[in-house]
Amino acid sequence: MKLSMYLIGFIVLILGLNSGCQRSGLRPISENSVPTTAVAVVHFDFDRFQLKEDQKQFLVRQIQKWKGHNQLTLVLEGHADRVGEAPYNLELGARRALQVKWILVQEGFVPEQLVEVSLGQSRPLNDSNTPEERALNRRVELYLR
């Protein structure tokens, strides 16, 4: 089941679809099990889950120090701004986390050491009143666990 959900997410990412995919097999995680400081944060364009090239390069540079440390777990926390309905934004956060997972697997991480979580619009960094504030909320935060 886990492998099939991963493959579905991979196919969706390859095709570049931006809507209509099913839940991506997120695993629940308690808030207490995640450190409070992200080791990396990448940002996304409005209503998109594909990383722009500069954000992808930033991510790859940031994760190099953990590459090959199979005992580590990286929690990939997907977020969205408050534009749109909460269920849609929860799914969008899931797709963003899955996109980051796919990149990390391509870079040599083992899928089992990567945990995707979507918080959708539930944990904004700010009030999302301006375009700049909303842009900061469209993100994936990476935490070591």
Say if 114 falls within a structural domain. Answer: yes
Does the pLDDT at position 46 exceed 80? yes
Dihedral class, residue 128 (left if φ above 0, else alpha if ψ from -120 to 50, else beta): left
pLDDT reported for residue 36: 62
> Domain range spanning residue 103?
2-17+35-144
Averaged pLDDT of the chain: 81
Q: pLDDT tens across 60-82, in order?
A: 999 998 888 888 899 999 999 99
- What is the domain count for the chain? 1
14-28: average pLDDT:
40
pTM as predicted: 0.76
Q: pLDDT tens across 82-111, in order?
A: 999 999 999 999 999 999 999 999 999 999
Q: How does DSSP assign 15-71, residue by residue?
A: HT--S-PPP--PPP--GGGS-SS-SEEEE--TT--SPPHHHHHHHHHHHGGGTT-TT
Say if 28 falls within a structural domain. Answer: no
Say if 10 falls within a structural domain. Answer: yes
What CATH number should be reported for the domain holding residue 42?
Answer: 3.30.1330.60
Say if 50 falls within a structural domain. Answer: yes
